[in-house]
Chains A and B, each alone.
Chain A
Amino acid sequence: MLFIVLTMIYPIFANLRMSVYDVNVGTFLSDTAPFVGLGNYIKVLRDSAFQKAFLLSLIFTVGSLVFQFTIGFALALLFNRSFPGNQILRALMLLGWMLPTVVSGSVFRWMFDGGNGIINYALQSLGLMSSPRFWLIEPQTALLATIIANIWVGVPFNMILLLPGLQSIPRSLYEAASIDGASSRQSFRYITLPLMRPVALSVLLLGIIYTFKVFDLIYVMTRGGPVDATTVLPIYVYQLSFNFFRFGEGAAAAILLLAPLSLAAIGYLWFSRREDVMA
């Protein structure tokens, strides 16, 4: 309990407090920052950079989750069957998730490089692209590249959480269905999907929380650039506080970042409790 108070409640409280004072370079140490009420929040909400960052965060989260989840689900279905090498392959899959994001970010940064990146090489060799593309430098593709990298990072996470859900579906259900003449597609539609719903929703809610706050992967790949094409909310917050020393506004933006995450967390808790009651 003390641990939670010291490491979580206190920082959040201190951050809330800072968000209603005009804390900046001049007033950071002197403790003379004037109380500005919701002034910082209004400033941040009106800042077009914040609005853009929020929108980019939404695109990043939705784009990442749709593919992470679909691919993760497909892989979970695959690994739910028994085949030689299943265990080893599953362990290998996890590697991408366990790798420090700084490492995977750097690797993706060079893979997407316009001059000597392997992605350009592959696409050109296959005849899919005629001239090299500077993925991380063009605003249209920089966000796409970071989403692709994040999908790669998140797929194993989705797969490993969905797999136990699949394994907990009793085999007898499928056997009964096949005796009744159900095709494998029908089994999937009427047995797998409905029974996976609670697990899937939990995974998606956790996914929202994890994806909305991704910072390191994007920072390593683009530093929020070109210009501000990949400046998602966490990067925006970091810039306000640690580049511009506008601590009050940074704190307000951090609270605004926390709000949707808290909603997702509450949704997750409410949902898992309801499942417990039903089970």
Chain B
Amino acid sequence: MSDANGAALDTQMAKYMEAHPDIKIERTYIPFADLKQKLLQGAAAGQLPDVVLIDNPDHSSFAALGILADLTDVVKAWGQESNYFAGPWASTVFQGRNFGIPDNSNCLVNWYNKTFTEAAGVQPPTNWEELKETAATLTQGERYGFAVSAVKSEEGTFQWLPFLWMTGEDLATLDSEGGRAALQLWVDLVNDGYMSRGILNWTQGDVKGQFVNGLAAMMVNGPWQIPVIKEEAPDLSWDVATLPAQKQGASILGGENTAIIKGSAHIEAAWRLLTWRQEPENLKAYLLQAGKLPSNAAMAQDVAWTGDPVLNVFIEQLKVAKPRNYGPNYPEISNAIQEMLQAAISGQKTVDAAVAEAQAKITPLLPA
């Protein structure tokens, strides 16, 4: 969580407590990597907060664990479903029941260094053919044309899935022409020298570092890097474009949802807080301060986002961003994808073998 994020939450909570003197909110920040573990420990010890803000791909795992309260009745009565993007909304639903509501979103886009693209006279690529050509043109000396993260963690899966979806395939049909092509694309970019082999060990933060230092001309990254890059490299000339499409455009949906802990003594008060946070004026102030994108479709049309050339690209990309809605076994599924990426890109396995193996592991893990 960046400083901007924490500050935005504090501002919002203070405002709420001022208007509701009977409510006292204590906010605890847990680093992203520890959140799952901490929530599990808290659940085992019966010591959990009333309200949690969690990463949306983990939502169904936590619902399956029985940590979250079933909010189906109040959510139905609230009647706001149609105002939200389908992807974020779907991530709060487990086995047909509502276990929370969406809070904010993010997605991946293609970032490019304008100094390099203008010098080479190229435009950001709109399909895979152009991606290979542009990456080739922009590769020069120590600088690589393109950069992604293929690290052995959720970040690697997060970055690769959009490329799979662009081919029209999904994890159930990973072992297909499209699935193999999506993996082959990354393998080729590395083998042709347009992308560093270092991607296997780079987090998205490291990818941003390569981009800022001029060692990568284009990169795949999310909106949370906007305030970071503006601060780290105020003179860098950059812009963003939607990810290059293949059969269709695609990106991945990241973001957070709010949920209430099962057995909380303050379920009603907690629900009032969650819905208050979603009221347009409260939500807008918070999202803008934190540098996050709305999950609320109506709010995404607000000029605060559409009027900003950079943020507007993210809003456009959000329309084709899909959630990782693969049920409670998702962490293990993601691990299979990470191993597939690493095996194929490092050359330990052929693309065909890596994809077939991943499919064999993933199929039994997908929700029936």
- Report B-chain residues with C-beta under 8 Å of the C-beta of A29: 43-44, 65-67
CB atoms of A226 and B331 under 8 A apart: no
CB atoms of B342 and A225 under 8 A apart: yes
B-facing residues in A124-172 (Cβ within 8 Å):
134, 136-139
- Report B-chain residues with C-beta under 8 Å of the C-beta of A134: 197-198, 200-201
CB atoms of A114 and B196 under 8 A apart: yes
A37 interface contact, C-beta 8 A: no
A113 to B197, CA, bound (A): 10
A222 interface contact, C-beta 8 A: yes
- Report B-chain residues with C-beta under 8 Å of the C-beta of A227: 152, 339, 342-343, 346, 348
CB atoms of B339 and A114 under 8 A apart: no
- Report A-chain residues with C-beta under 8 Å of the C-beta of B331: 243-245
Contacting residue for A226 out of B44, B153, B215, B346, CB 8 A: B346
Closest residue of chain A to B327, judged by CB?
Answer: A25
CB atoms of B335 and A139 under 8 A apart: no
A225 to B151, CA, bound (A): 8
CB atoms of B64 and A114 under 8 A apart: no
A13 interface contact, C-beta 8 A: no
B-facing residues in A93-123 (Cβ within 8 Å):
109, 113-115
Contact A115 B196, CB 8 Å, known A226-B348, A242-B37: yes
Classify the interface of chain A: helix, strand, loop or mixed.
loop
Contacting residue for B153 out of A25, A137, A139, A223, CB 8 A: A223
A109 to B202, CA, bound (A): 11
Contact A139 B64, CB 8 Å, known A109-B201, A115-B196: no
B239 interface contact, C-beta 8 A: no
- Report A-chain residues with C-beta under 8 Å of the C-beta of B215: 115
Closest residue of chain A to B37, judged by CB?
Answer: A242
A26 interface contact, C-beta 8 A: yes
B61 interface contact, C-beta 8 A: yes
A30 interface contact, C-beta 8 A: yes
Contacting residue for B197 out of A137, A139, A239, A244, CB 8 A: A137
A140 CB to closest chain B CB (Å) equals: 10
A67 interface contact, C-beta 8 A: no
Contact A136 B201, CB 8 Å, known A29-B66, A228-B339, A245-B331: yes
A28 to B37, CA, bound (A): 13
A-facing residues in B63-85 (Cβ within 8 Å):
64-67
CB atoms of B65 and A25 under 8 A apart: yes
Classify the interface of chain B: helix, strand, loop or mixed.
helix
B193 CB to closest chain A CB (Å) equals: 12
B-facing residues in A208-257 (Cβ within 8 Å):
222-228, 239, 242-245
A-facing residues in B317-346 (Cβ within 8 Å):
328-329, 331-332, 335, 338-339, 342-343, 346
Contact flags A11-35 to B (C-beta < 8 A → 1, else 0)? 0000000000000011011100000
B277 interface contact, C-beta 8 A: no
A225 to B44, CA, bound (A): 30
- Report B-chain residues with C-beta under 8 Å of the C-beta of A109: 201
B202 CB to closest chain A CB (Å) equals: 9
Taking residues whose C-beta sits less than 8 angstroms from the other chain, chain B's interface range is 20 to 34
B206 CB to closest chain A CB (Å) equals: 9
Closest residue of chain B to A228, judged by CB?
Answer: B339
Contacting residue for A114 out of B36, B37, B44, B197, CB 8 A: B197
B346 CB to closest chain A CB (Å) equals: 5
CB atoms of A223 and B152 under 8 A apart: yes
By the criterion of a CB under 8 Å from any partner CB, how many residues of chain A are at the interface?
26
CB atoms of B198 and A115 under 8 A apart: yes
A134 to B196, CA, bound (A): 10
Interface centre among B67, B151, B152 (most CB of A within 10 A): B152
A-facing residues in B104-162 (Cβ within 8 Å):
151-153
Contact A113 B66, CB 8 Å, known A29-B43, A242-B37: no
CB atoms of A222 and B201 under 8 A apart: yes
A225 to B40, CA, bound (A): 25
CB atoms of A137 and B65 under 8 A apart: no
Interface centre among A26, A109, A136, A225 (most CB of B within 10 A): A225
Contact A25 B332, CB 8 Å, known A113-B198, A134-B198, A136-B201: no
A134 to B328, CA, bound (A): 35
A29 to B343, CA, bound (A): 36
CB atoms of B200 and A139 under 8 A apart: no
B162 CB to closest chain A CB (Å) equals: 21
Contacting residue for B200 out of A25, A225, A245, CB 8 A: A225
A227 CB to closest chain B CB (Å) equals: 5
CB atoms of B332 and A113 under 8 A apart: no
Contact A28 B43, CB 8 Å, known A115-B215, A223-B153, A245-B61: yes
Contacting residue for A28 out of B40, B151, B197, B332, CB 8 A: B40
Contact A243 B201, CB 8 Å, known A226-B346, A226-B348, A227-B342: no
- Report B-chain residues with C-beta under 8 Å of the C-beta of A239: 335
A226 to B310, CA, bound (A): 35
Closest residue of chain A to B152, judged by CB?
Answer: A225
A222 to B152, CA, bound (A): 8
- Report B-chain residues with C-beta under 8 Å of the C-beta of A228: 339
CB atoms of B200 and A243 under 8 A apart: no
Binding site for A on B (CB under 8 A): 36-37, 40, 43-44, 61, 64-67, 151-153, 196-198, 200-201, 215, 328-329, 331-332, 335, 338-339, 342-343, 346, 348
Q: What are the 4 tightest A-B residue pairs by CB atom distance, in nearest-first order?
A: A225-B152, A137-B200, A226-B342, A223-B152
Binding site for B on A (CB under 8 A): 25-26, 28-30, 109, 113-115, 134, 136-139, 222-228, 239, 242-245
5 CB-based A-B contacts, threshold 8 Å: A114-B197, A223-B152, A243-B332, A244-B331, A244-B332
Q: A138-B346, A243-B335, A244-B332 are in contact. List 4 more A-B contacts (CB 8 A).
A: A28-B65, A113-B201, A139-B346, A222-B152
